[in-house]
């Protein structure tokens, strides 16, 4: 038969169940609020510290803005357009974080106990310090923790641990004191900030620079503001805002110093190159001028303007073109020599001002790769795969650029040769021009070429000096580190409210889990959910300590519930000839004998003749409950023939109208004994004598004795006990009800909590 379930929640029943367990709610609230108070003392509130940096974008040709004519493009060798992604990695690099750790001494953490579960981190004016060799922080791989409990007389208990391993423990050592460990010597000292006449408990943690930088990297967050912006947002969440602001500001400072250093390094390399070339050109130019002077003196030439009349427009144009071609050839030769030099393998290549777009593009691409390698090499460790790949790429590009420069040089040199040939033909037409003058013009042309190159490089030297004097940082600070006003997360009051709610929610959850895990019935609703048999009534737990709690003067809640049980039973026993009621349960301890005794007493209060029969012959308890010791019992009557019914019946001294038949001695064959015809004969006679007969029978979950008595019964009561009867046992009773193995089976719930009712109290 399907069980009848209702979707309606009995709120009153639920609240009553909670009220019965009010001590659990009180204890839960006290516990969780206490935990919340401890949590707020231990857990410091974090504050959000933020900073914003704008990455300045460099012009692709920073020197071209200075002027310099068509050859000013050489300045593009010494600058490159910045990349926000690249600068992001530099700003967040381990080397910068490590230097910040070193600058701010973050690898040393000092905590002072200010009260119970109240440890505060301090950043200056340390009362106790640990002195170690400075070089140790570069090699220390394991955090070292010092717990120091110092007394007013500066004697202290010191414990030193590496992770969870205790290194040293000293009792009552006098500070300062040096401890020798496998990691080195540590000296614990008191400072000038030690409070006189007070005890101090301090915890100091020492870490290596690399380890502290890794911890800092986990706490500092960085992100590019947007794809279209060149800004980087930085943040750190910390209970100590001043500390967080110092960290972010120092990271930005170190990043800018590094950027300035890199820019200066490029400018210095350019300055050195220009100085070397200027020194060579100075010597060459001086030598050319000396040769011209010697030649004039040797040949006796006074002025060149006289011979200039012999020049034609064609010769002037050819000479001008020849000068330009040779200038370009000389620049290309200088560039080829620079590339060929192994010392300049990973340096920027000068870009000569020639009308060759392919060569200019190749040199520009090579310089961009070199600049990326410079930035990466300053931060990457040896063996970095990206650095190796960039080096290989540079080697390949260098060979291509070198070949391109050589081809351009050969082309330029060939063009100059053609111009010389044409000029020679033109000069050949001028037969009247003395050979001395042609030699003089050639020397003057060489001097002019070197002078042009010298002036160009001298201008670039001045521009480089100006760049060195006006280097600006890459990171433009939009917002210096600042702290948001409101703390992160939930405030102290909010945390306490949450723990209070947890304290209120935990008991219902525990009660629900307890109900599921115990597999025992807890309420009347559990019984109604598991069995279709009618509920005859509930009996509360009696605190009187008596087995017989029903009498005429008794007004306790338990006695009143038995009266209610009696009334419901009378509705079941409607025909006048229905008198015999079996009382059983699933297992011993459910209280069936208690129910049987008091139900019989309750019926006797109606001025009825009531008989209580103990037929749990395997484990009789009825005589013990009532304190009776009759001579004969039921088993003796059924087993023999010389005992009359009157010999079995004994009046219950405290309840008028109630007679008792006890079970008697335990027989060797109880199952067969209860099927004897003598049992039927006995009950036929008893029916004639009594108005009601209550039979205390054996548990149906253990033996089948009760089923053998169904033939003499008119109704049956199955007793279940809150917190004792299992759900399985109740399902077994439901099967008995569905199969009608016991007549008019109903259920009595024993052990429910006592309730105060109108006019009655708990007893």
Q: How far apart are the first and last CA of the chain?
A: 39
Find the angle CA(295)-CA(296)-CA(302) to the nearest 5 degrees.
Answer: 165
Q: Is the pLDDT of residue 720 over 90?
A: yes
Specify the DSSP class assigned to residue 726.
Answer: B
Average pLDDT over residues 525-533: 86
Domains of the chain: 1-45+489-518 (no CATH), 105-241 (no CATH), 260-474 (no CATH), 521-752 (3.40.50.300)
pLDDT tens, position by position, 357-394 = 777 777 777 777 777 777 777 777 777 787 777 777 77
| Better-scored residue on pLDDT, 107 or 473 | 107
pLDDT of residue 584: 92
- Per DSSP, the three-state class of 165 is strand
pLDDT of residue 716: 93
pLDDT of residue 80: 38
pLDDT of residue 580: 93
Q: Is the pLDDT of residue 74 over 50?
A: no
The pairing of strands 475-483 and 47-55 is antiparallel
- Per DSSP, the three-state class of 76 is helix
pLDDT of residue 745: 92
Distances in whole angstroms, Cα of residue 73 to Cα of each of 70, 275, 355, 357, 728:
7, 18, 12, 12, 95
pLDDT tens, position by position, 311-333 = 456 677 777 777 777 777 777 77
In whole angstroms, give the CA distance from residue 81 to residue 368. Answer: 9
Asked whether the beta carbons of 170 and 124 are under 8 A apart, the reply is no
Specify the DSSP class assigned to residue 179.
Answer: E
pLDDT tens, position by position, 264-291 = 766 677 777 777 777 877 887 787 777 7
Q: Is the pLDDT of residue 482 over 50?
A: yes
Q: Is the pLDDT of residue 616 over 90?
A: no
pTM for this prediction: 0.48
How far does Cα 493 stand from its chain's mean position?
A: 24
pLDDT tens, position by position, 236-253 = 888 888 888 888 898 888
For a pLDDT cut of 90, what percent of the chain falls above it?
9
Specify the DSSP class assigned to residue 430.
Answer: -
The model's confidence at residue 746, banded by pLDDT at 50, 70 and 90, is very high
pLDDT of residue 91: 83
Q: Is the pLDDT of residue 555 over 90?
A: no
DSSP letters along 1-57, please?
A: ------S---HHHHHHHHHHTHHHHHHHHHHHHHHHHHHHHHSPPPEEEEEEEEEPP
Mean per-residue pLDDT over the chain, rounded: 79
The model's confidence at residue 308, banded by pLDDT at 50, 70 and 90, is very low
The model's confidence at residue 596, banded by pLDDT at 50, 70 and 90, is very high
Provide φ and ψ at 598, rounded to 5°. -75, -30
Range with the lowest mean pLDDT among 33-37, 214-218, 713-717, 752-756?
752-756
Average pLDDT over residues 702-721: 88
Look at phi and psi of residue 68 and say left if phi exceeds 0, alpha if psi is from -120 to 50, else beta. Answer: left
pLDDT tens, position by position, 157-210 = 888 888 777 778 878 888 888 888 888 888 888 888 888 878 888 888 888 888
């Amino acid at each position: 038969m399907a069980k009848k379930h209702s979707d309606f929640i009995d709120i009153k029943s639920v609240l009553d169940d909670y009220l019965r367990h009010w001590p659990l709610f009180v204890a839960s609230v006290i516990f969780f609020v206490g935990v919340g108070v401890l949590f707020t003392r231990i857990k410091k509130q974090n504050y959000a510290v933020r900073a914003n940096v704008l990455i300045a974008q460099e012009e692709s040709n920073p020197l071209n803005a200075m002027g310099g004519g068509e050859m000013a493009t050489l300045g593009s060798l010494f600058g490159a357009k910045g990349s926000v992604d690249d600068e992001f990695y530099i700003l967040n690099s381990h080397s910068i974080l490590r230097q910040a750790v070193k600058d701010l001494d973050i690898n040393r953490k000092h905590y002072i106990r200010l009260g119970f579960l109240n440890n505060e981190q301090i950043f200056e004016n340390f009362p106790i310090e640990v002195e170690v060799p400075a070089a140790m922080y570069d090699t220390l791989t394991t955090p070292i923790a010092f717990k120091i409990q110092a007394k007013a007389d500066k004697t202290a208990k010191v414990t030193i641990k590496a992770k969870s391993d205790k290194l040293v423990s000293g009792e009552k050592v006098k500070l300062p004191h040096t401890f020798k460990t496998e990691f080195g010597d540590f000296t614990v000292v008191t400072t000038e900030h030690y409070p006189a006449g007070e005890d101090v408990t301090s915890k100091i943690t020492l870490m290596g620079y690399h380890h502290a930088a890794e911890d800092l990297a986990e706490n500092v967050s960085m992100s590019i503001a947007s794809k279209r912006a060149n800004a980087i947002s930085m943040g750190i969440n910390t209970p100590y805002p001043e500390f967080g602001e110092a960290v972010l500001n120092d990271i930005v400072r170190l990043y800018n110093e590094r950027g300035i250093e890199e820019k200066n390094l490029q400018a210095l390399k350019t300055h050195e190159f220009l100085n070397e070339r200027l020194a060579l050109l100075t010597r060459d130019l001086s030598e050319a001028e000396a040769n011209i002077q010697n030649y004039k003196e040797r040949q006796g030439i006074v002025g060149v303007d006289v011979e200039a009349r012999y020049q034609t427009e064609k010769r002037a144009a050819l000479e001008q073109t020849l000068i330009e071609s040779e200038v370009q050839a000389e620049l290309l030769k200088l560039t080829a020599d620079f590339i060929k030099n192994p010392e300049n393998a990973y340096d920027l290549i000068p870009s000569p001002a020639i009308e060759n777009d392919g060569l200019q593009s190749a040199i520009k691409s090579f310089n961009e790769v070199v600049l990326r390698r410079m930035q990466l090499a300053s931060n990457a460790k040896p063996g970095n795969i990206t650095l190796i790949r960039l080096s290989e790429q540079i080697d390949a590009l260098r060979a291509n650029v070198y070949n391109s420069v050589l081809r351009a040089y050969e082309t330029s040199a060939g063009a100059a040769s053609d111009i010389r040939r044409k000029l020679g033909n033109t000069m050949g037409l001028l037969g009247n021009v003395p050979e001395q003058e042609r030699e003089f013009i050639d020397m003057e042309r060489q001097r002019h070429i070197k002078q042009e190159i010298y002036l160009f490089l001298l201008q670039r030297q001045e521009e480089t000096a100006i760049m060195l004097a006006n280097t600006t940082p890459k990171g433009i600070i939009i917002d210096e580190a600042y702290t948001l006003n409101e703390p992160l997360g939930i405030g102290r009051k909010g945390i306490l409210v949450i723990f209070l709610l947890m304290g209120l929610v935990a008991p219902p959850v525990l009660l629900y889990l307890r109900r599921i895990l115990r597999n025992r019935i807890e309420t009347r609703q559990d019984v109604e959910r598991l069995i279709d048999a009618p509920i005859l009534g509930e009996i509360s737990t009696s605190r009187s300590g008596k087995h017989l709690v029903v009498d005429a003067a008794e007004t306790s809640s338990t006695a009143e519930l038995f009266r209610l049980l009696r009334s419901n039973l009378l509705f079941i026993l409607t025909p006048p000839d229905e008198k015999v009621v079996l009382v059983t349960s699933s297992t011993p301890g459910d209280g069936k004998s208690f129910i049987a005794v008091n139900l019989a007493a309750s019926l006797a209060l109606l001025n009825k003749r009531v008989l209580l029969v103990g037929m749990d012959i395997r484990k009789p308890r009825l005589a013990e409950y009532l304190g009776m010791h009759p001579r004969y019992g039921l088993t003796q009557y059924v087993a023999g023939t010389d005992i009359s019914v009157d010999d079995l019946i004994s009046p219950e001294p405290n309840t008028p109208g109630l007679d008792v038949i006890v079970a008697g001695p335990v027989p060797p064959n109880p199952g067969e004994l209860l099927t004897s015809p003598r049992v039927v004969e006995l009950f036929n006679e008893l029916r004639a004598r009594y108005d009601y007969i209550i039979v205390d029978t054996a548990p149906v979950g253990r033996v089948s004795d009760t089923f053998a008595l169904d033939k003499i019964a008119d109704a049956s009561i199955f007793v279940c006990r809150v917190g004792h009867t299992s759900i399985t046992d109740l399902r077994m009773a439901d099967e008995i009800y569905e199969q009608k193995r016991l007549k008019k089976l109903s259920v009595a719930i024993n052990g429910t909590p006592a309730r105060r009712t109108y006019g009655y109290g708990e007893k």
